[in-house]
Structure 1
Amino acid sequence: MEIKVPVLPESVADATIATWHVKTGEAVSRDQVLVDIETDKVVLEVVAQADGVMGEIVHAEGATVNAEQVIGHMTAGGAPAAAPAAKAEAAPAAAAPAAESDDVLTPSVRRLIAEKGLDAAKIQGSGKNGRVTKEDVEKFLAGAPAVPAKAAAVAAPAPVQGDRSQKRVPMTRLRKTIANRLLEAKNSTAMLTTFNEVNMKPIMDLRKQYQDVFEKKHGIRLGFMSFYVKAVTEALKRFPEVNAAIDGDDIVYHNFFDVSIAVSTPRGLVTPVLRDCDKMNLAEIEKAIKDLAIKGRDGKLSMDDLTGGNFTITNGGVFGSLMSTPIINPPQSAILGMHKIQDRVMVVDGKMEILPMMYLALSYDHRIIDGKESVGFLVTVKELLEDPTRILLDI
């Protein structure tokens, strides 16, 4: 049986093999995850279609592959006893020069060989199917003859002293995509940031009063994000320019409210979408955010989860950020940054009080949103958060 790359999402040209979970000759069961394939946006899992034995791995980790390309083979219905045969087939390959072709080298190994100016054909591989690993390169370097002093002075950098060291790893596809999109946002928008601050005491008192009842009824804790989403949704209704986007020479106004939530995952920052937030209550929003966070952590987010979104909320406060200038998530026109809640001395009715305050930061595209709309939007969010009753009364 052939193991193939799944059909890739629309607009994704190729993918990278992230992790092989099985080895040649290893017994596998039906629906067992064989390999993770990373695209620019999501991680795809390839599972075994039947019980059997893993055969040859055609493309190793780090290789770039296309949709429906064969990346390995397995024997359906085989027994573990078939494993020695698979290893026997791989043995001649291991005996041959391991790096006859760059296709069997991972990007990190290929880069290390190039940096050291080595001949890959002279390095004996000890990895799968005779593949050269970083350890093989390091062993080869340790056993290589000494370079003449003058040549070393010209070709090699100064020796590392003490515990100073470096580690070079290739960027993941997701990290590359994030980097490109951030640069695109900076270079293609007239981005400006405006700030305000909000007194979080009313919401904190509300949560304290109803937390137990809310959790008992809905099975989930009442957090801050549901209030943020509701306040943003109401503000978007009142300022449609913030919910719009530029498409060429046109402005596209959306009559729906899909809010992207920035989620930090082991592979990088992603922005899954909460759809039709105007039709959701606080409990539904909390459950949806939790589900997206779990899927992001486990690498289970689908293209549908990441596609769309008219506005983004990012909460750097969970990491301790006091203030920031978030970058717009194209093709959206604005992003709201929430920050750390910190006790500060404020003047209320001529008297000083210690209140839990939080800075708000709205970054927006000045080509479509003027100062009046941006400040009005942020003040609306502030008023709704400081008096949550306004959300219920629509005032």
Structure 2
Amino acid sequence: MIVEIKVPTPGESISEVELASWLVSDGDIVAKDQELAEIESDKATLALIASEAGKIKILVESGETVAVDSVACSIDTDFAGEAPSTSQAETSKDDSPEVEVKKEEINKESAKPVQEKTSQYEKAKVSPLAKKMMEEADLSVDDVINGLKRISSKEVELAKNAPTTSDSGNSKSAFISSDASREAHRQKMTNLRKKLSQRLVSVKNETAMLTTFNEVDMSAVMALRKKYQNKFIDAHGVKLGFMSFFIKAASLALKHHPMVNAMIDGEEIVMPEYHDVSVAVQTPKGLMVPVIRNIETLQLHDIELSLKNLAEKARTGKISIEEMSGGTFTVTNGGVFGSMLSTPIINPPQSAIMGMHNIVERPVAVNGRVEIRPIMYLALSYDHRIIDGKDSVGFLVKVKEMIEDPAKLLQGGYNPEELVLGL
């Protein structure tokens, strides 16, 4: 029986997607629920899943733009349960008596180069993310290399241009390239990147965007994190980072300045009473902003767990449209890339975004004396059409106060002494 596999719907208002790459080859035997291809839309990356097991026939080439619900491939279920033809040929070949005799006649000297060639896989460079994924899937470098379906010209060029061991030890070749090149590589822009470009340009053209800055002394948070990190991990199974402090502080500051959490809808201003914070995550496919919902009800460990799960989904392309929709405020951290200061762009239809930056020891005045403190610069970009300077500046000041005195996080951003005095 022939089963048609149709392109899934990424979400409402999306009629076309790009078939980014096939994970299998034409004629392969696939299993039920196996991932067949990666599909990119202007919002997310999805997987094409085999509904039945059998032999696949690819009908759409990689890189083509196809309509939603169109047939991408078909599966012949009559071949379900069979191994790929290439594997069958190798198995039958190995089991023949003639091959067994030849195997016995192979001496150690002739086998030695093959072993050396296989051992060279151990020298392959593996990125930290790829290494983590390999460990989770219990795969070795040999498994990954042997599992490649096709070697393209891109891989050959990378191998040709890869520095050798002798080159890496030569300081001159590391500083000055011996091969001058005038080539330029072209890469097709993905639908996700196209949509991101359109949104960023529209924000600059359609909002009265302004950015205000402040600086935060990170001494208290860093000391608290260092003191209780091990206990935090033992209790909650996740590391305590700085993002959770800033996200929680931002949520509490939004209660004091609700207009920062507002957005324009036609001729009305909508002010949600909940705080759904979008967190910018850099992925191989581009910038994504998964949403952590109802921050006002979460504790720090809840935020850290949500951050870990959503970031992993975003980087592996497993995140859904629902998990990236509906945020009311955004936090982005350029400090992880070494950024000292920036003016982040608003994520529409939101009206504000807070940017974190790197932590640098700087001389500051403390009680009339100059001291060296770990300082982070904070930025808040906001739509001046509905957010006034008082709210934008006051919001950052409130975040600053809670980061510099984390005990205020327990008091909703208020000064405990003022609460005691009823002020």
> Which TM bucket (shorter chain)?
0.7 to 0.9
CA distance in structure 2 between the partners assigned to 1:7 and 1:332 by the alignment? 25
- The alpha-carbon deviation at position 23 of structure 1 amounts to 1.2
Q: Distance in 2 between matches of 1:134 and 1:343?
A: 47
The equivalent of 1:319 in structure 2 is 337
Distance (whole Å) between structure 1 residues aligned to residue 78 and residue 207 of structure 2: 57
SS in 1 for 2:76: strand
Structure 2 Cα separation of the partners of residues 369 and 262 of structure 1: 22
Partner amino acid for 2:354? Answer: L
Equivalent residue number for residue 44 of structure 1: 46
Aligned to 1:192: 210
* Identity among equivalent pairs (%): 51
**Cα distance 1:192–1:82, how it changes in 2: closer, same or farther (>3 A)?**
closer
Q: Residues 42-94 of structure 1: CA distance to partner in whole angstroms, max 9, x if unpaired?
A: 11111112221112x2110111111210111121131668969xxxxxxxxxx
Q: Which amino acid aligns with 1:15?
A: V
1:182 and 2:183 aligned = no
Q: CA deviation at 1:211?
A: 0.8
Output the amino acid matched with 1:208.
Answer: K
Distance 2:83 2:304 in 1: 51
Structure 1 residue 77 and structure 2 residue 78: aligned? yes
1:162: Cα distance to partner? 4.5
* Cα contact 1:343–1:356 (8 A) shared by 2: yes
Instruction: Quickly say closer, same or farther: Cα 1:241–1:21, change in 2 above 3 A.
Output: same
Match of 1:223 in 2: 241
SS at match of 2:361: strand
Verify the 8 A CA contact 1:3 1:71 in the aligned structure 2: yes
Match of residue 309, structure 2, among 266, 288, 291 = 291
How far is the alpha carbon of 1:13 from its aligned partner? 2.0
> Does the Cα contact within 8 Å between 2:18 and 2:40 map onto a contact in 1?
yes
Pick closer, same or farther for the CA change 1:33–1:388 going to 2, 3 Å: same
Task: State the Cα distance separating 1:3 from its structure 2 match.
Answer: 1.6
> Taking structure 1 as reference, are residues 266 and 81 closer, same or farther at Cα in structure 2, changes over 3 Å only?
closer
Q: Which amino acid aligns with 1:241?
A: M
Q: Deviations over 1:198-225 (max 9, x none)?
A: 0000000101111111111111111101
| Contact 2:362–2:372 (Cα < 8 Å) also in 1 | yes
**Residue type of the alignment partner of 1:50:** E
Could you say if the C-alpha distance between residues 281 and 23 of structure 1 is closer, same or farther in structure 2, counting changes exceeding 3 Å?
A: same
**Counterpart amino acid of 2:76?**
T
Other-structure match for 2:408: 390
Contact 2:38/2:46 (<8 A) preserved = yes
Q: How does 1:46-125 map to 2 (within 5 A)?
A: 46-55=48-57, 57-78=58-79
Q: What is the SS of the residue equivalent to 2:341?
A: coil
Match of 1:267 in 2: 285
Equivalent residues of 2:364, 2:372 under 8 A apart:
yes
Q: How many residues align?
A: 321
1:135-170 Cα distance to aligned partner (Å, 9 max, x none): 9xxxxxxxxxxxxxxxxxxxxxxxxx9411100111
CA distance in 1 between counterparts of 2:59 and 2:293 reads: 41
- Secondary structure of the 1:2 match is strand
Q: Does 1:367 align with 2:368?
A: no
Structure 1 partner of 2:296: 278
Q: 1:81 to 1:291 in 2, by over 3 A?
A: closer
Report the residue type matching 2:22 in the other structure: W
Aligned partners of 2:10 and 2:380: how far apart in 1? 35
Q: Normalising by structure 1, what TM-score?
A: 0.79
Deviation at 1:27, TM superposition (A): 1.1
Counterpart in 1 of 2:35?
Answer: 33
Correspondences of 1:3-18 after superposition (within 5 Å):
3-18=5-20
* Shift of residue 35, structure 1, vs aligned partner: 1.2
Q: Could you say which residue in structure 1 is the equivalent of 2:323?
A: 305
Instruction: Report if aligned partners of 1:24, 1:83 keep a CA contact under 8 Å in 2.
Output: no
Q: Which structure 1 segments of 5+ residues have no match? A: 85-132, 136-160
TM-score normalised to structure 2 length: 0.74
Structure 2 residue matching 1:77: 3-state secondary structure: helix
- Quick one: distance in 2 between partners of 1:74 and 1:176? 32
Please, which of 350, 364, 374 is the counterpart of residue 356 of structure 1? 374
1:21 & 1:329 partners in 2: Cα distance?
33
Aligned partners of 2:69, 2:372: CA distance in 1, in Å?
A: 61
- Note if contact 2:361-2:375 (Cα within 8 Å) is conserved in structure 1: yes
Letter in 2 for 1:340: N
Alpha-carbon separation, structure 1, partners of 2:228 and 2:245: 14
Task: Tell me which residue corresponds to 2:191.
Answer: 173
Q: Any conservation in 2 of the 1:19–1:35 contact (CA below 8 Å)?
A: yes
- Residues 149-168 of structure 1: matches in 2 within 5 Å? 162-168=180-186
Letter in 2 for 1:298: T
Q: Verify: 1:379 aligned to 2:397, yes or no.
A: yes
1:247 paired with 2:265, answer: yes
* Higher alpha-carbon deviation: 75-84 or 294-303: 75-84
Check whether the contact 1:329–1:335 (CA below 8 A) recurs between aligned residues: yes
